[in-house]
Structure 1
Amino acid sequence: MNIDIIAPGRIKERYLRDAIDEYSKRLSRFCKLNIYEVADEKTPEHATPGTDELIKRKEGERIAKHIKDGAYVIALAIDGQMLGSERFAAKLEDLTVHGVSHIQFIIGGSLGLDPAILKRADWKLSFSPMTFPHQLMRVILLEQVYRAFKINAHEPYHK
């Protein structure tokens, strides 16, 4: 299984980089993981809705360059489907059973995802109706993907 995470911005905080490195190492026995960081746009204070849309479009164009033909694209979106860990694991297992060998998770920037990326997505996933910093979301996503692999391997981790 190939898993990609595509997200805007670089992780500057050491504690987040350390967590990402740890989950990347743990996942290496289950999948080939790639993390693509695309340049993020700075959002000016008091930006107009038009400026916000332009920023999302620019970030979306950068994200789109990493989306591979044939990959199953999962966009993290607040209006996506919410699942518990076991159901998320079952979803990943179901994709594998149906021949999906490449999954790409897309995390939006501070303003969210460009509508074109959401339209391209095969599925939208929500971790919560709450908003999380996109840098922290990488760690949360990696932990849940790791948890899903452990659940599907019937290994003790998810309890």
Structure 2
Amino acid sequence: MLQSKKLYKKIKDAFNSVFFTGEFLLMMNINIIAVGKLKEKYLSDACAEYSKRLKAFCNLKIYEVNECRLPENPSEKDIIKCLEHEAADIMKLCKGYLISMCIEGRQLSSVKFSEKIENAGVSGTSTVSIVIGSSHGIADSVKQISDFKLSMSEM
């Protein structure tokens, strides 16, 4: 349940960051690729509400990739193996300008994040994909192909 709440918060923060003026997003395709599923109804309802709001400004698609199951006390090797398994599914969905949400990324204000997406559109990209990893993060292989790494906070 804690992971679902964290995932919901990440999606909500990503939506809030994108939902700035919306004017430049009219023709943009925004793909949110999240590892894990929202299980609680109130979280799914909130996600649906944000999706509804954003659809007025962009073509939004949300993809939920299955989270790899780990043993109770996973080793670093187990975690890396799972992250790479998730990465294979993530990479099938990645299109256009790729933003990975990861702890080592840069923190931006909502305005700066909107400018980042706008600049991607101005440079000829019609699709922005935002990857939200599991509680263990995102595989290095996904981070390496990312156009930008975004961090929501140092926490």
What range describes the TM-score normalised by the shorter chain of this pair?
0.7 to 0.9
Out of 70, 83, 90, the residue aligned to residue 43 of structure 1 is 70
Structure 1 segments unaligned to the other structure (5+ residues): 131-159
Out of 94, 107, 116, the residue aligned to residue 141 of structure 2 is 116
Written as runs of structure 1 = structure 2, the 5 A alignment for 1:92-111 is 92-111=117-136
The share of aligned pairs that are identical, in percent, is: 42
TM-score (norm 1): 0.77
Q: Separation in 1 of the partners of 2:70 and 2:42?
A: 24
Post-superposition Cα deviations, 1:69-122, rounded to whole Å, max 9, x if no partner, equal: xx0000001111101112112222222222221000001112110110000111
Q: Separation in 2 of the partners of 1:86 and 1:6?
A: 22
One-letter amino acid of the counterpart of residue 18, structure 1: D
Does the aligned pair in 1 maintain the 2:117–2:128 contact within 8 Å?
no
Q: Separation in 2 of the partners of 1:122 and 1:109?
A: 20
- The question of 1:63 aligning with 2:94 is answered no
- The question of 1:18 aligning with 2:41 is answered no
Post-superposition Cα deviations, 1:12-70, rounded to whole Å, max 9, x if no partner, equal: 011111111011000011100111111111222211111111111111111111123xx
Q: Separation in 2 of the partners of 1:83 and 1:65?
A: 27
Q: Separation in 2 of the partners of 1:40 and 1:100?
A: 29
Q: C-alpha root-mean-square deviation of aligned residues, in Å?
A: 1.0
Q: Separation in 2 of the partners of 1:110 and 1:102?
A: 26
Q: Separation in 2 of the partners of 1:100 and 1:77?
A: 22
Residue matched to 2:104: 79
Residue matched to 2:35: 8
Structure 1 counterpart SS, 2:78: helix
Runs of 4+ that moved beyond 3 A: none
Out of 126, 129, 132, the residue aligned to residue 151 of structure 2 is 126
